[in-house]
Every structure is written in C-alpha cells, then in structure tokens.
Amino acid sequence: MVKRREKFFYGVGNLGYGVVSQTYNNLIMFFGTAILAIPGTLMGIAVAVSVLWDAFTDPIIGHLSDKQESKLFGKRHGFMLLGFLGMAFFNIFIWSVPAFLDPTAKFVWLLVFMLALETFHTMFATPHVALGAEMSDDYNERTNIQAYRTTFFLISFLAPSILIMLFLPSDLTQATQQGYMNISFATSAMALLFGLLCVAGTYSALPRLKKKYELAKKEKKDKTPTQILKMFFYALKRKNYNSLVGGYTISLVSSAIITGVGLHLFTYSFYFNTTQISILMGSLVLATVLSQPFWVYFSRKFEKKPAVLTGIFTSVLGLLVVTAIFIFRNQATDVIKFSVAMVGIFISGFGTGALYSIPISMFADLMTIEYAKTNKESKGIYSGFMTLAYKVANALALLVVGILLDVIGFNSKLVEQTPSVQNGLGVIAVVGILVSLGGAALIYSQYTIKKSQVDKANRKIAKIKKSRELKAARKKAIDEILLD
C-alpha cells in the first residue's frame, strides 16, 4: 500500500509543474500577439516548434530515466529535481523579452527560451508520470494515485486566473509586459517550492522502488537508439495502446485550442473583464477537481473506458451551452451572458476531469499487461511515446490557431475587433473542440482492456517476482555455504 502522505507529495509535484505550464500555456499566445505584437503565424510557429521539441525529447528523457541507477536518487528523483530547478529559471526569461527588439527578434528570443523551458518541463514531467505508474501495482490504487496527481494539476489551473487578477488590469487590452514578468516571478517561486516538496516527500518510497528496479533489471537489457525505434513501431502495432494514445492525444487537442484562443475569445468576443475571465477559468478548475471522486467511483463501477466516454459526452454538452450563448451574445444581457457561459464551462470542466486522470491510470494498466508478457520494464519510454504523440498533435493545433488568427484578421492594435474577427474566434474554438472530442470518442471506443485482464497480469507478475526472490535467496544461501 502507498502511504497517503506519499500520494499527497507526489501530487504536489504536479502543482509546481502545473502553475508554470498552465500559466505559460494559457497566456503565451495572447502575450505574444496582443502585448508583443508578434504576428499570429510567427507565434504559432514558435509555440509549435517548442511543443514539438518537448515531444521529441520525451522518449529520450524517458529512456535515460529508465537507465538511471543513482544510489542517491534512484531512476526518477534526480531528473525531477533538475527539471523543476531549470523550469523555474528559464520561465522568467520567457516573459522578459526586451521591448526595443523588433517583432522578428522578439520571436527569436521567445523561441530560444521556450525551447529551454520545454526541455526542463520534460525532465520533470516524464519521470514524474513514470514514478506514479511504479508506486503501486494495484488496479484501483493506481487510479487513486492519478487522482491525487490530477487534482493538484487541476488546482494549478487556478494559477492563471488568480495571477491575472493580481498582476494585470481589469481590461486585458490595457495590460503591460511588466505585469506578465511579475507573474513569472510568482510561478517560478511556486515551482521551486512544490518541486522540492515532491522530491523530498516521495523520497521515502525509494527503497521499495529500488527493489522493484533491481528485480526488473535482471530481465532488462540496455536499449540502443535502434531498439528504441523498434519499440516505437512495436507500440504502434498494439491495438489498445494505439486506442489509448490516440484518444488521449486527440482529446487534449481541445485543451490546446482553448488555451491558444480562449483569452482572445473572452476578451474580444464576449467582452468579459479580468475578474469575469478569472471566475470562468476558476469554475472550470473547480468542476474538474470536484469531478475526481466521481470519476474514480464511476471507473470502479463501470470500468475505465465507459468513464472516459461519459466524460467526453459531458464536456460536449457543456460546450454546446457555451456555443448557444455565444451565438446569442448580442441579444443577451451581460449578466445572462456571463452566467450561462459559466454554467456551460462548469459542465464541460466536470467532464474534462475524466480525460486527465483516467487515461494515465489506463496507461499503467497497459504497462502491467505488457510487463507480464515481456518481463521487461519500459514505463518511462512508453510514457515518452505517449507524450510525444499528444504534443505533436498539440503543436500542430497551436500552429493552425496562430495561422487562423492572421487569417481572420486579428489586429493587436485594435481594442475592439471587427464583428468578423469576433465570430471567427468563436468558430475556431467551437469547431476545433467539437472535432477534437468527437474524434477522441471514436478512438477510445476501440479500447478493450478490463479489470479482469489487469488482475490476471498482476497475478502472473507476482509469481515471476516470487520466483526471482526464491532464486535470489537460494543463490545467497549457496554463496554463504561456499564462503564458510
């Protein structure tokens, strides 16, 4: 059994990671286009390239983490420590673009430091995911561990809401770069604090993790780049792995779309002020956090795939409510417009809660079955493949969003955008998210793993471990006799 304290501190790490990544994800496109006046296409390229870089480093970091044999930090903790330290440092440079630079030079500055930030994001996030999968072999406890991780990550979604209220003016069109720099100081400080708590708070789990690593090591051979490539193509042949990765990837494209264009939509189409936007973002977070116990119960009662599909349906229902008020926004009063939008976002957020925690638990189940078949430990590299897939998709989505901002004629110099731009922002958001969630539902429907299969795999693994322990005990006894 994993101690509740260890689960708590494991989850806290995702809070430190999340306050940086969520603030960055939610504000960077708006910051670049509306504050720095960088064309949308260039910002789309910068974000897409940085996300692609992050994606392709995931399997590499996962592989290096799998290979790590540090006596002091084990496989994961050393990478996590270095990751949040670098993350906190380079985060500040993202928002400190010199004002005297022209738009092209600002683009280059952003790109360089975005690549650095994403590198250290990966150094923390990929080993952190692998650590969570290794902390328990129990089918339901894995979901519980991921609920801790997801809950803290979802709490981090509040960071942009709170920080823009604290450091930016009520009218976001009047914001200055200094406000965003102050936000970066706050998020970097939180990353340092929560990252340190995560590493220190889960350190007590290291002895039993090392025992698991030692047992796995006896059956594990070092992976060359060629072998990694072979594993990648092998993974592509696994139907359930493809269904999980594909569904997870496509569903999270919806998040990329809303972070890429959400602030533009709320500011220029709905005319919401900073407080209203913060409340809307807060209601989204509140719904996703409150939904976690429900989705844990639902997945135990009806299996994990039905829980994910129900979450997608709930998210779509909420989006349709927001779409309705967007269509009639000019006929509705400000109070009705804001209230209906908040209800729709709350419903959508409740459904989204299932899409963050349950797929990671499903990934751990798949890795259990894979280990039972192959006797090889590869959670780190397979989690790297998983993040590679969804980040490539997110990069492409953000690139398209940036291009579309230019296509619809978004102009950062205008406090009030033209009606065609306002409508265009809504179309980008609504159509993009609906296509994303609909595609995810179709792909997830192909997933077939059930609890009984995971339990069977765990029983097989238990026999393998017991056999190894008996062999190790016999060898030790023989060695002692020979020494005597």
pLDDT digits (tens, 9 = 90+) for 244-300: 988 998 998 888 888 889 999 999 999 999 999 989 988 988 898 889 889 989 998
Per-residue pLDDT tens for 57-66?
877 887 788 7
Residues spanned by the domain of 109: 9-201+220-472
> Is residue 220 scored above 50 in pLDDT?
no
Which band of pLDDT confidence, cut at 50, 70 and 90, is reported for residue 217? low
Q: Is residue 213 assigned to a domain? A: no
Angle, alpha carbons 241-243-246 (nearest 5°): 100
Quote the CA–CA distance of 194 and 227 in Å, as a whole number.
Answer: 36
**Can you read off the two tokens belonging to residue 366?**
């798949």
> Is residue 385 scored above 80 in pLDDT?
no
> Exposure of 98 by Cβ count < 10 A (0-12 exposed, 13-18 middle, 19+ buried)?
exposed
The answer to whether 61 and 69 are in contact (CB under 8 A) is no
Quote the CA–CA distance of 479 and 427 in Å, as a whole number.
Answer: 72
Q: Is residue 206 assigned to a domain? A: no
> Is residue 216 scored above 60 in pLDDT?
no
Q: Is residue 1 assigned to a domain? A: no
- Least confident stretch, 139-148, 171-180, 215-224, 388-397: 215-224
Name which residue leads in pLDDT, 209 or 446: 446
Quote the CA–CA distance of 235 and 13 in Å, as a whole number.
Answer: 29
Q: Report CA torsion sign: 217, 222, 228, 234.
A: negative
CA distances from 53 to 117, 118, 127, 394, 483 (A): 10, 7, 17, 12, 54
CATH code of 55's domain:
1.20.1250.20
Q: Which residues contact 34 (CB under 8 A, 6 or more apart)?
A: 172, 173, 175, 264, 412
- DSSP assignment of 272-304: --HHHHHHHHHHHHHHHHHHHHHHHHHHHHH-H
Q: Is residue 385 assigned to a domain? A: yes
Identify the pLDDT of residue 292: 86
Q: Is residue 481 assigned to a domain? A: no
Per-residue pLDDT tens for 326-350?
999 999 999 999 999 999 999 999 9
Q: Is residue 479 assigned to a domain? A: no
Number of domains in the chain: 1
Q: Is residue 211 assigned to a domain? A: no
Q: Is residue 143 assigned to a domain? A: yes
Identify the pLDDT of residue 64: 83
Average pLDDT over residues 222-229: 56
3-class SS of residue 116: helix
